[in-house]
Structure 1
Amino acid sequence: MIASPDDVLDALDPEQRQVAEAVDGAVCVLAGAGTGKTRAITHRIAYGVLTGAMQPTQTLAVTFTARAAGEMRGRLRDLGVPGVQARTFHAAALRQLHYFWPKVFAGPPPQLVETKIALVRDAVQHCRLRADRTELRDITSEIEWSKATQTAPDDYPRALLEAGRKPPREAAEIAHVYAAYEKIKSGQGRMDFEDVLLLTIGLLDDRPEVREAVQAQYRHFTVDEYQDVNPLQQRLLDLWADRARSLCVVGDASQTIYSFTGATPAYLLGFRRRHPGARLVELVRDYRSTPQVVGLANRLLAHATGEAAKHRLELISQRGEGPDPRFVEHSDEQAEAESTAKQIRKLIDDGVRPAEIAVLFRTNSQSESYEQALADQSVAYLLKGAERFFERPEVRQAMGFLRAHAISSGSDPEPAHLPAEVRAVLGNTGWSAEPPAGSGQAREKWESVAALLRLAEEFAVKWPDATLRDFTVELAERANAQHAPTVEGVTLASLHAAKGLEWDAVFLVGLNEGMMPIAYADTAAKIEEERRLLYVGVTRAREHLTLSWALSRTPGGRGRNPSRFLDGLRGTGSARPDAFRSPGAGRGPDGTVRPRRKVGPVRCRVCAKALQDAAERKIGRCLDCPSDVDAYLFEQLHQWRLERATEHSQPAFVIFTDATLTAIAEVRPLNERQLAAIPGVSRTKLERFGDDVLALCAGHELAIESDPDEFEGVPEPEIVPDGA
């Protein structure tokens, strides 16, 4: 425990020390990513308390997440000042509301509503409108934005135009629902999270005795992540700190990525205009990332425009040299996911902990291919900020419709082209090929269902004769593989969910036009926010950084362009193009795109009939054709799989399914070509487990040669033609 003010200051660099010593008046700290802002402000509070300039009970530190508030409390305890309060805006306001409301109104405050969905649904019905759960969530988001920006229901349509915001449905309808929501909520004596701030503001505004009590209680304020405050939070802060002895705000305009919630960097950038004489300190020493990562982040922002760009910070890395960032181009999204998983497997094999690796993407709908690719590599993963792909309600519902249609049309003598059939089934559920406007829950739901269609397109390329029933079996197997239990794993997260976190190795994937920037970023301001979002992703990496994109969504599909944000970054400075690509994909010697090899239909090894059933394709023969499985080899393979599954803490089927083991025990492959021809043996599994399997098969053949009588009647292994 640090006991003296000098100890507190000695632990800081010169700029952080300036922050710590500014214990009186107003101070604005512009702190770049990884520059130790939390360290600076907690040491400032500790220094103020230890020197007597601040009283712990009169000091309030405010941040935006309970996790960040908990971290600040822990650091302050370690510095010897446990009495300081560190809370979120809502937690601090709710505490004041519970204390003062009974004194003013002689009764408890309104009951807090944990979720608005039920009340919004009642409001929609009251307005004689209809909305599914996704639309309800989007309407809820609009109500939250309106309240955060202090927009009344009648002013909602005008505020939309001024903000350039696209509503999920007619503005007049949302305004009508918003008004009904407020009426129903108030009639039930309830309040939502925005009301916590509004009612606290009301008490402070209307009751001088409450305002004076709060202002006498708290004389020193610190606000973290100040670039994320919205007008409602700023109004509350103004009332809290009107008579404060000190007010310290810290933030980075280049990390403003939540404007869709009403957050704005205007208060951070205009702080010194509102507080003449305020001290300004810039933190630019980056302790998180290597010079290579920091250099890339600086170059990315060098092309930025707008008000925030005028105040960008040029970071200076304080770490030793590291590897150059990789820029990786892939033929299609599947190849991108497989390559990323292989690179992650190599990092883990080289000693990097899975928990120190992250794959970051723009939207949660992109997670499925990475969940599958990591499962194929036997790499555990954690999905942050979203449900696993196959657990999402819209995906489960769509899969249910696909299964039902597959059963009802299973006897159709002329099955439709798979992608067209999937598109038709999804269309019957209300899904359309055109995405909804805006960026809300409806768009995320659309993207997830669209990902199922892309899976169907990829499946049809690999298996041209596949039926809808085959595809539903494939989806079920993918879902099983992605539901493996995890304890410590690689993080999969959207760029928004990654804010405030950091890892040793970061993979920024899907960096294509239409995804980064996102397609609905249709103004200059929105484009710049997308750039800042990518900047946040880059600055999450401590050492290893890979940026990748795909030339098409599916093998042989329509061409796509890399993100415009990569212009001027690739091949300059510390960044360089990287040639790491999946086998069978990429560019040829002349620079043209080389498509991945298409796999022909699987034929029964007994009767040579083309196999349509997914289970038959897995074992490589018709189910009613005679089996020549080697029971002894199958048992050896089964035991080997159990050992590998235990070693990797994953279900056995993630290694190989029973059907694949059966096929191996029937074919008894003697080389990689024969093993790779067996359905269920992907490239990644061949590289990961091929040597083990071939060793078991070869050892079994030696056993047969040494004691031929023991295996009398066992047929010779069949040579499977390449590509069969």
Structure 2
Amino acid sequence: MILTEEQQAAVSCQESVFLTACPGSGKTRTITAKLGRCLEEVEGSSRAVACITYTNAAVHEIETRVRRTLSLREVWALDISTIHSFCLNNIFRPHAHKLEQFRQGFKVIGQDSEEFEALVNQTRASHGKRSSSRDVDEFAQLRQDINGTVEGAPILSGNISVAEALEFWRLMYERGFVDFSSILFWSHRLCIDYPEICNYLSARFAWILVDEFQDTTDLQTAIFSEIYRCGNTRFFLVGDLCQSIFGFAGASPALAEAFATEIHARRDFSLSFNFRSSQLVVNDAERIFQRAPPMVAEGRNKYLNLATEYNHAENPTAAVIEHFLPRIQQLGITLGESAVLASSWFKLIPIAKELRRQGIPVLGPGARPYRRQRLFSILAERICGHLCEPDFESLVGVERALYETLLEATNRLPLRLFSYEGRLLVYKILADARHVQENSQLGSEFLYALAARVSERLLSAEYLKVPEVDMLRASVVEMEADMRRNKVDPDSLTVDELGILARPKRALKLLTFHAAKGREFGAVAMVDLNEGSIPFYQARTNEEFEEARRLFYVGLTRAEKYLMYAPDARDYRNRPTRYLGQGYLGLC
């Protein structure tokens, strides 16, 4: 693997490191190279290496790169996961029986599950309040700090009371449910009450690599601290304090710096070359945050002479349809390479509706007509993605989705999936899927037939037991009901539409700035760039304004070739955001 001098220096260091990486700096390549170096170090021992990143998409990307370059024998020593999966599989799942609330078992629920929504509605009703469409999102933002204090944006805004939050969790635990924020809270509590857990983790993991470290929360750093104190684990932390944008989830640059200091991590390594963007885009980024050393364009787009453009459009939808889409067509940039970013989903919904009305393929609000947490949904999407574009990346995606589906369905770790036998099973499932596609009508018939074939294979290979064999079919029943509730005809759903959710190369992406983190696009339109949106009108503290600046920075640094800024001319109450004006970009 070819590395720059900056990357090689960081990878070669045998001490704990906090590596500062600018946008587009090849940090995934650096992490992959470091994983290889760490695996060489533990080869022949019983020790392992963990790599923790922020999203499932990042897990998939790193895992794909690692498995392209390392043998399957070496992959056995790897644990690549999000922080929630790491805590769930290494701390909470093995030890939850030690907690009174979960002695009878537990079920993980996400905010898109019916169970989560029912708990929200019951909590609101018990406090004499009517439920609204935003309640589920707000309850999902609730969390507890290391002392059990209730926190989260809805608490600060007063939309949810502390009493409601405590009632919500009480009802959840009574039913044997646990949400993602609770996994972290209880994992930390287990680490404190049972020190042998961290002794084991420290003995097992010689290295823990953490991607996007600037977005690590107090609970996460507290868990890492307990592992570090056992004395057997080194850390390789990769992040960028200029891209810390998850303050509402408890992250802050100060937390990242404090933990780096605690573990005596070296801070003298940085990645300053941007291999993503043109120098003109990089120049804009440097006007928002001047880095030391300065960020420099160094990739294939370095000399591309496409100036960033300012378009004070009538509204965000007009900015996209009348200006952005014709411009990218003129430049020869495809829809699949392009994205529209805004500060909230609310601003993207009318854009998505109009684009769909005009027959333009789009991934954004309303793209998935069923709940994402349905057991079979992600596996079905990954399989369809491979049917549409059969390559190694999609194959690894199917393997990962199958692993997660089995883990959720059975609460058993299906580790033998990552073997020759497991790869053969995946090939058989994909052959079955192709056969089903060729011999059934599209839509719900395809989903039911696919679920049946997959269940048969998993039962035959003893991944599922007889009482579990109908779980995938039951999930399809739930998906069909979701679609009907959303006024989508299940029979109209195609393999291509399912596959595009896993391999979205032909559709325009509509994303919030937060959701776009870690992504890159040939062309980017940043819309609704007004004071009141970014920074948000409720911002009061210096840290809130600084986080808004970091959010703007994240948005513009997603662009590789072409970047358009589009404030909303109809917003008579709020002028274009300060980051477009003097002192920053100087465009208005």
* Bin of the TM-score, shorter chain as denominator length: 0.5 to 0.7
Deviation at 1:509, TM superposition (A): 1.9
Q: Distance in 2 between matches of 1:104 and 1:390?
A: 37
Deviation at 1:523, TM superposition (A): 2.7
Assess, with a 3 A threshold, how the Cα gap between structure 1 residues 342 and 191 changes in structure 2: closer, same or farther. Answer: closer
Partner of 2:303: 321
- Among 316, 333, 341, the residue aligned to 1:360: 341
Verify: 1:244 aligned to 2:217, yes or no.
no
Assess, with a 3 A threshold, how the Cα gap between structure 1 residues 20 and 561 changes in structure 2: closer, same or farther. Answer: same
Q: Distance in 2 between matches of 1:276 and 1:536?
A: 28
Q: Distance in 1 between matches of 2:206 and 2:35?
A: 12
Q: Distance in 2 between matches of 1:48 and 1:54?
A: 12
- Among 152, 169, 180, the residue aligned to 1:193: 180
- Among 501, 506, 509, the residue aligned to 2:527: 509
The amino acid that maps onto 2:28 is: T
- Among 75, 78, 82, the residue aligned to 1:82: 75
SS of the residue 1:210 aligns to: helix
Shifted more, 322-331 versus 235-244: the winner is 322-331
The amino acid that maps onto 1:99 is: P
Assess, with a 3 A threshold, how the Cα gap between structure 1 residues 298 and 551 changes in structure 2: closer, same or farther. Answer: same
Partner of 1:124: 124
- Among 231, 236, 255, the residue aligned to 2:243: 255
Assess, with a 3 A threshold, how the Cα gap between structure 1 residues 240 and 271 changes in structure 2: closer, same or farther. Answer: closer
Indicate conservation of the 8 Å contact 1:253/1:312, yes or no.
Answer: no
Deviation at 1:491, TM superposition (A): 1.4
Deviation at 1:231, TM superposition (A): 1.0
Q: Distance in 2 between matches of 1:534 and 1:44?
A: 30
Verify: 1:15 aligned to 2:6, yes or no.
yes
Deviation at 1:182, TM superposition (A): 3.2
Partner of 2:315: 333
Please give the per-residue CA displacement for 1:107-142, whole angstroms capped at 9, x wherever unaligned.
66433334433223333344x422313363265145
Indicate conservation of the 8 Å contact 1:98/1:108, yes or no.
Answer: no
The amino acid that maps onto 2:561 is: E
Q: Distance in 1 between matches of 2:203 and 2:260?
A: 24
Deviation at 1:259, TM superposition (A): 0.5
Q: Distance in 2 between matches of 1:222 and 1:528?
A: 27
Q: Distance in 2 between matches of 1:296 and 1:237?
A: 36
The amino acid that maps onto 2:249 is: T
- Among 269, 276, 284, the residue aligned to 1:296: 284
Deviation at 1:104, TM superposition (A): 9.5
Please give the per-residue CA displacement for 1:185-243, whole angstroms capped at 9, x wherever unaligned.
33334333233223333333223443322221112111111111111111112223332
Assess, with a 3 A threshold, how the Cα gap between structure 1 residues 102 and 286 changes in structure 2: closer, same or farther. Answer: same
Indicate conservation of the 8 Å contact 2:209/2:237, yes or no.
Answer: yes
Deviation at 1:539, TM superposition (A): 0.5
Partner of 2:30: 40
Please give the per-residue CA displacement for 1:380-431, whole angstroms capped at 9, x wherever unaligned.
23233x3269999xxxxxxxxxxxxxxxxxxxxxxxxxxxxxxxxxxxxxxx
The amino acid that maps onto 2:177 is: R
Deviation at 1:30, TM superposition (A): 0.7
Q: Distance in 2 between matches of 1:168 and 1:130?
A: 13
Structure 1 stretches lacking a partner, 5+ long:
1-7, 303-310, 393-482, 578-724
Assess, with a 3 A threshold, how the Cα gap between structure 1 residues 102 and 389 changes in structure 2: closer, same or farther. Answer: closer
Deviation at 1:563, TM superposition (A): 1.6
Indicate conservation of the 8 Å contact 1:381/1:492, yes or no.
Answer: no
SS of the residue 2:200 aligns to: helix
Indicate conservation of the 8 Å contact 1:517/1:530, yes or no.
Answer: yes
The amino acid that maps onto 1:16 is: Q
Assess, with a 3 A threshold, how the Cα gap between structure 1 residues 35 and 141 changes in structure 2: closer, same or farther. Answer: same
Partner of 1:133: 132
Q: Distance in 2 between matches of 1:34 and 1:178?
A: 39
- Among 250, 256, 264, the residue aligned to 1:268: 256
The amino acid that maps onto 1:261 is: A
Q: Distance in 1 between matches of 2:295 and 2:240?
A: 12
The amino acid that maps onto 1:321 is: Y
Deviation at 1:372, TM superposition (A): 6.0
1:407-426 alignment runs, 5 A limit? none
Deviation at 1:289, TM superposition (A): 0.5
SS of the residue 1:314 aligns to: coil
Assess, with a 3 A threshold, how the Cα gap between structure 1 residues 248 and 192 changes in structure 2: closer, same or farther. Answer: same
Deviation at 1:373, TM superposition (A): 6.0
The amino acid that maps onto 2:325 is: I
Partner of 2:509: 491
SS of the residue 2:339 aligns to: strand
Q: Distance in 1 between matches of 2:107 and 2:350?
A: 43
Partner of 2:444: none
Indicate conservation of the 8 Å contact 2:228/2:263, yes or no.
Answer: no
Q: Distance in 1 between matches of 2:319 and 2:568?
A: 12
Assess, with a 3 A threshold, how the Cα gap between structure 1 residues 225 and 366 changes in structure 2: closer, same or farther. Answer: same
Verify: 1:380 aligned to 2:360, yes or no.
yes
Partner of 2:93: 98
Verify: 1:523 aligned to 2:523, yes or no.
no
- Among 184, 197, 200, the residue aligned to 1:210: 197
Assess, with a 3 A threshold, how the Cα gap between structure 1 residues 201 and 524 changes in structure 2: closer, same or farther. Answer: closer
SS of the residue 1:118 aligns to: helix
Indicate conservation of the 8 Å contact 2:87/2:184, yes or no.
Answer: yes
- Among 256, 265, 271, the residue aligned to 1:283: 271
Partner of 1:546: 564
Partner of 1:183: 170
Assess, with a 3 A threshold, how the Cα gap between structure 1 residues 559 and 295 changes in structure 2: closer, same or farther. Answer: same
Q: Distance in 2 between matches of 1:276 and 1:391?
A: 47
Assess, with a 3 A threshold, how the Cα gap between structure 1 residues 58 and 135 changes in structure 2: closer, same or farther. Answer: same
Whichever of the two has the greater Rg, that structure is 1
Q: Distance in 2 between matches of 1:92 and 1:325?
A: 43
Partner of 1:534: 552
Indicate conservation of the 8 Å contact 2:319/2:527, yes or no.
Answer: no
- Among 66, 91, 94, the residue aligned to 2:56: 66
Deviation at 1:20, TM superposition (A): 1.0
Please give the per-residue CA displacement for 1:135-167, whole angstroms capped at 9, x wherever unaligned.
63265145x23x2x3354xx54xx68xx99732
Partner of 1:658: none
Q: Distance in 2 between matches of 1:235 and 1:124?
A: 32
The amino acid that maps onto 1:111 is: K
1:467-486 alignment runs, 5 A limit? none
Assess, with a 3 A threshold, how the Cα gap between structure 1 residues 504 and 135 changes in structure 2: closer, same or farther. Answer: closer
1:644-683 alignment runs, 5 A limit? none
SS of the residue 2:156 aligns to: coil
- Among 103, 107, 112, the residue aligned to 2:108: 112
SS of the residue 1:325 aligns to: coil
The amino acid that maps onto 2:517 is: K
SS of the residue 2:261 aligns to: helix
Indicate conservation of the 8 Å contact 1:329/1:550, yes or no.
Answer: no
Q: Distance in 2 between matches of 1:532 and 1:312?
A: 16
The amino acid that maps onto 1:85 is: D
Assess, with a 3 A threshold, how the Cα gap between structure 1 residues 125 and 13 changes in structure 2: closer, same or farther. Answer: same
Q: Distance in 2 between matches of 1:14 and 1:507?
A: 34
SS of the residue 2:540 aligns to: coil
SS of the residue 2:51 aligns to: strand
Indicate conservation of the 8 Å contact 1:112/1:190, yes or no.
Answer: yes
Indicate conservation of the 8 Å contact 1:325/1:547, yes or no.
Answer: no
Q: Distance in 1 between matches of 2:209 and 2:368?
A: 39
